[in-house]
Amino acid sequence: MKEDLIEISFQYREACASDNEPLGYIKGHEVEIMLNVERPYPTLLRRTDYPGSPRGREALEAQIDELMKLGVLRKVGHNEEVEVTAPVVITWNDDKLRMVGDLTELNTYNMPERYTIPRIHETLT
């Protein structure tokens, strides 16, 4: 079983992360989240920034810069209509700071997928 997993990983190595491609090689794939509400969205989905410490702001800027270099984030033009969640900086036990998005309210308005996820043992057999 382990050998099969290694073989599959090697076969689809372009989709896996590496030192040169930390997010894998799949480009141009976007995930669309379907909501059961229309614009203008409820204020719970349009929160303002949380107050943060100067150390947290520096970590946030550093992570945003890194995500922009990787092509995960992009600058938004002033004429583009977007909904943004407030970034939150959390501290891990080893004092590393991590940026996360507060998407808890999104689950209230998110439409569930129409297909079931297969079980792991079904996909590997």
So what's the pLDDT on residue 25? 60
Please check the confidence at residue 69 and state whether its pLDDT lies above 80: yes
CATH of domain 35-123: 3.10.10.10
Average confidence (pLDDT) over 81-103? 77
Please check the confidence at residue 27 and state whether its pLDDT lies above 70: no
Model confidence band, residue 117 (pLDDT cutoffs 50, 70, 90): confident
Query: Where do the structural domains in the chain lie, given as residue ranges?
Result: 1-30, 35-123
So what's the pLDDT on residue 120? 81
Distance of CA 94 to the CA centre of its chain: 22
What CA–CA distance (Å, rounded) separates 85 from 42?
12
DSSP annotation of 35 reads B
**H-assigned helices in the chain:** 2-11, 54-69, 106-109, 120-123
Please check the confidence at residue 110 and state whether its pLDDT lies above 70: yes
What CA–CA distance (Å, rounded) separates 61 from 90?
14
pTM as predicted: 0.55
